[in-house]
Amino acid sequence: MDQNNQERYEDSELYRIRHSLSHIMAQAVLEMFPEAKYTIGPPVENGFYYDFDLPRTLTPEDLEKIEKRMRQIVAGKYDFVRKVVSADEARRIFANQPYKLELINDLERGETDEHGQPLDEKPEISIYTHGNFVDLCRGPHVQNTSQINPSAFKLMSVAGAYWRGDEKNPQLQRIYGTAWRTKEELERYLQMLEEAKKRDHRKLGRDLEIFIFDDEVGPGLPLWLPRGGVIIEELEKLAKEMEEQAGYQRVRTPHLTKEDLFLRSGHLPYYAESMYPPMELEGVRYYVKPMNCPFHHKIYAAKPRSYRDLPVRLAEYGTCYRYEKSGELFGLMRVRSMQMNDAHIYCSEEQFEQEFLAVVELYLRYFALFGIEKYVMRLSTHHKRGLGKKYVDNERLWLKTEEMVRNAMRHGGVPFVEAADEAAFYGPKIDVQIWSAIGREFTLATNQVDFAVPERFNLTFVNRHGEEETPLCIHRAPLSTHERMVGFLLEHYAGNFPVWLSPEQVRIIPITDSHNEYARQLEQEMRAAGIRAEADLGQDRMNAKIRSAQLLKIPYMAVVGDQEVNSRTIALRRRDGSRQNDVPVQAFIEQVKERIRTRSAEL
């Protein structure tokens, strides 16, 4: 959409407008609550926010007042004036603002920026003033508030947010706003949000009868309806085909295990927070599994392995349970029971690069099949401060495996970004990041290196010199979990699944009930050909039947009347509204079968 998308956001006019509006909002809030403490307020993707420590909770009416006052300030045509100050001067100016003082102290030490991120060099301390409002800020801003369009911004919501993003810190009130250059841009953005809601998998999942949640079953525990069940079956079929070709072997493992296994694997020391509490029977504690890996390790260890056997690739669509905190649940994208497209690859160090890349290539094949284009591959690495807490305590191995992954990606020519402090507890990983309809970021596929756990399980193979060696383990889930994958695909396709994934592929619609018999015959014929077809023999008129099929986003409607009965044809209506009359039944069946066989994206 943007001609000059080469320009960094930080350098853009929009960034300055949003940043300035966040100051103006802070001014309005401080006028309303003179005792308020203000913290930070940066521009974000579609607007800006500001975090405040306030004497009371904000109401929607407050937002209206604040927004109104902001318009007045904008109309006041104030200049934004930058001034570099010493740390002492800054401390004097913000003497009553504890959060600002903390920021100033950190800046003075040259350690961290306003988000608590480490800084490379010691920064200048600057303040920006407009009118009588002053804020600690590095800018940039508009020169004058007249450069802000008063009808191109809107305050959106209030939310809780921890000071410096740490849940141990006090919780602040964050006001989100959106801001654009023109009123039209704002309206377009608001309309886009409306459109996104229609694509939301939570809405589509209900409308298309894919899944439900039931209060009595529990939060984060989805029930797959028959139509959702079909999609899952198709995904598993796909995974099994691909994995068989790629040399994986399928295994099956229980949902429960004794405590000992998760002590050995390190899940209890590093991952207990996300696990359901244990159940105790006859003095033994059992846990429901949050991951499949320990079981696969046991299968690997079930017999002696030679270097000739490697790589060993064990695959399982395993069902796992994780106790996600209640506020973290989000439709199908974040649940408590999930089935993972899981596999563990045990290989030697020499085999690592090839195996790792083969997994990345597998992702790319899947993504091409689904037409997924908007994603980012992210190398998630450890952070020193988490060693022994979030991460297995062996810095040398962390650095080594991270470099192995980096090299594999570079040699494979696969672009990626790096994110520190995002690794799994047992090793670095390549995550594939995607965005939900409403803009939330999720990891879809993942490819993780485990340098720690094979040793804990005493996994070995005998190398060509007759010595015992510890294999590396790659954990991978290219198709994510069924839950997140189906949630994502619902939004990705906006419910218009390709034929092979469509829960119902053909809806047969008789024009009057005298054509019911023919419709029934067609249904049988198509089903015999492996097509998911259903004849609609209900009381509705043809038009109503077409409408229901259309609302369920069924790819093909076969409308049949006298003409079709006589010539053994169908009148084809596709989901996109296109039509084709007099299609011979056999020709139609063959074409649909071909689309299914090739998993074609074509309608």
Partner RNA sequence: GCCGACGUAGCUCAAUCGGCAGAGCAACCGCCUUGUAAGUGGUAGGUUACGGGUUCGAUUCCCGUCGUCGGCUCCA
Residues 132-171 that bind RNA (CB under 7 A): 157-162, 165-167, 171
Quote the tokens at residue 257: 């295990």
* Contact set for RNA, span 509-528 (CB under 7 A): 511-514
Calpha distance 143→152 (Å, rounded): 18
8 A C-beta contact, residue 320 and residue 340: yes
Q: Which residues have a Cβ under 8 Å from the Cβ of 511 and sit 6 or more positions away?
A: 542, 559, 560, 561, 562
353 interacts with RNA by CB under 7 A = no
Per-residue x/- mask for RNA, residues 366 to 395, rule CB under 7 A?
------------------------x-----
Nearer to RNA, 202 or 305 (CB): 202
Nearer of residues 89 and 324 to RNA, judged by Cβ: 324
Q: How far is the CB of 79 from RNA (least distance, A)?
A: 32
Min. distance of Cβ 390 from RNA in angstroms? 7
Chain center to CA of 29: 34
**For the CA atoms of 349, 271, 444, 323, what is the dihedral angle to 10 degrees?**
160
Judge whether 249 and 240 are in contact, CB under 8 Å. no
Nearer to RNA (CB atom), residue 7 or residue 582: 582
Per CB under 7 A, 477 contacts RNA: yes
* Residues 180-219 contacting RNA, CB under 7 A: 202, 206, 213, 215, 218-219
Neighbour tally for 513: CB within 10 Å: 11
Q: Which is nearer to RNA, 3 or 539 (CB)?
A: 539
**Integer CA distances (angstroms), 250 to 36, 339, 450, in order:** 60, 15, 20
**Of the candidates 376, 542, 593, 601, which one interacts with RNA according to CB under 7 A?**
542
Binding-site residues from annotation for Zn(2+): 293, 344, 475
Applying CB under 7 A, the span of 29-37, 141-149, 306-314, 543-551 interacting with RNA comes to: 543-551
Smallest distance from RNA to CB 228, Å: 15
Rounded CA separation 222/342 (Å): 19
> Which residue type does 544 have?
A
Instruction: Give the Cα separation of 165 and 275 in Å (integer).
Output: 23
Report how far apart, in Å, the C-alpha atoms of 260 and of each of 18, 216, 266, 319, 328 are: 54, 32, 10, 20, 29
Within positions 306 to 325, which residues make up the interface with RNA, using CB under 7 A? 322, 324-325
Pick between residue 141 and residue 491 the one whose CB is nearest to RNA. Answer: 491
Q: Does 220 bind RNA (CB under 7 A)?
A: yes
Distance CA 377, CA 8 (A): 20
Q: Report if residue 335 touches RNA, rule: CB under 7 A.
A: yes
Footprint of RNA on 413-452 (CB under 7 A): 422, 424, 431, 438-446
516 burial class (0-12, 13-18, 19+ CB within 10 angstroms)?
middle
CB of 25 to RNA, least distance (A): 15
Query: Which residue is associated with the tokens 């040399």?
Result: 247
Binding residues: 293, 344, 475
Which residue of 174, 296, 313, 492 would you call a contact of RNA, by CB under 7 A? 174
Minimum distance, C-beta of residue 582 to RNA, in the bound complex (Å): 8
Interaction pattern, residues 25-64, with RNA; x per rule: CB under 7 A: --------------------------------x-x-----
Q: Does 573 engage in binding with RNA (CB under 7 A)?
A: yes
CA 353 to chain centre: 26
Query: Smaller CB distance to RNA: residue 341 or 351?
Result: 341
> In terms of CB distance, is 41 or 78 closer to RNA?
41
* Number of CB atoms found within 10 A of residue 151's CB: 13
| Residue 400, amino acid | K
Among positions 450, 504, 523, 564, the unique one binding RNA when judged by CB under 7 A? 564
Element (H, E) at 153: strand 153-162
